[in-house]
Amino acid sequence: MKFLSYDSEQKQESETEIRNVELETIHLFVQTWVPDFLFRSLRDPRFPYHLFQWEEIIRFSFWAPDTWQCYGAFTGTRLDGLLCLGIGEDKLKVEYLATAPWNYSDVGKMRGIGSGLIYFTVINSIDRHHQGELWLDATPDSEGFYKKIGMIATGNVNDSGLKEYAMSKNEANSFLEKFKKHVTK
């Protein structure tokens, strides 16, 4: 899938592609996300970004491709986002979703990466006959984003204290309608 993201530094739209991760994606993560995260954390110790161990998450997807699928959002050769889906029998869970550290927050470089990954997930859910429904455990600072795209807190909290959010069929359709103008392929 390809969609238009917005480069707030260049002040222009770019095309971002979501595709399956490869071994090279792990190298991209380590060599671009990791140093960028450290640099930003040193500049601002309150940088609220959550850097997951994506190399392990991606490796696991190679080992269990039927239940754990990872995708990257690439703008050219740059890895701008990562997504890991847990494939259940009756519903689809977003296990991990992240935009790159340089895209994080309102002043980040690329806009629309998270929404593009959610759109991709909704389509994936429909393809699996789950009607666009999906759920996830949201980190505290990402709850605003999930609310904004129409997801609703279920009231459940996981072992790490993260609140569970869900997208229903109606919310999914509404989100698809809003985002589809950005989709190019």
Partner 1 sequence: MKKNIFSKLFSRELPEGPVEAGQTLGMTPESVLERYFANRNAILSLLRIYSNLSLSDVAKELGISDTKLEEIEKSDERVPFQLVPKIAEVFNVDLKALLVLLGHAQSGDRDDKYREFSALPIAAQYSGPDLTKQEKVDLEELFKIILAEMKSREGENEI
CB of 159 to partner 1, least distance (A): 8
Q: Is 44 in the site for partner 1 (CB under 8 A)?
A: yes
CB of 89 to partner 1, least distance (A): 20
Closer residue to partner 1 in complex, CB, 12/160: 160
The one-letter amino acid code at 44 reads D
Measure Cα distances from 164 to 9, 43, 89, 152 in Å: 33, 31, 19, 8
Which listed residue (26, 82, 118, 151) binds partner 1 by CB under 8 A? Answer: 26
**Sign of the Cα pseudo-torsion (25, 30, 31, 36, in order):** positive
Q: Is 123 in the site for partner 1 (CB under 8 A)?
A: no
SS3 6: strand
Q: Is 76 in the site for partner 1 (CB under 8 A)?
A: no
Which listed residue (20, 31, 67, 184) binds partner 1 by CB under 8 A? Answer: 31
* Site size for partner 1 (CB under 8 A): 40
Listed as own residue / partner, the contacts of 121-124 with beta carbons closer than 8 Å and 24 or more positions apart are 121/83, 121/85, 121/92, 121/94, 121/97, 122/167, 122/172, 122/175, 122/176, 123/1, 123/176, 124/85, 124/92
Query: Who's near 26: CB < 8 A, 6+ residues apart?
Result: 54, 55, 58, 59
Q: Is 162 in the site for partner 1 (CB under 8 A)?
A: yes
Which window, 8-16, 127-135, 139-147, 174-182, contacts partner 1 (CB under 8 A)?
139-147
Residue ranges in contact with partner 1 by CB under 8 A: 26, 28, 30-32, 34-39, 41-53, 55-57, 59-60, 78, 96, 102, 137, 139-141, 158, 160-162
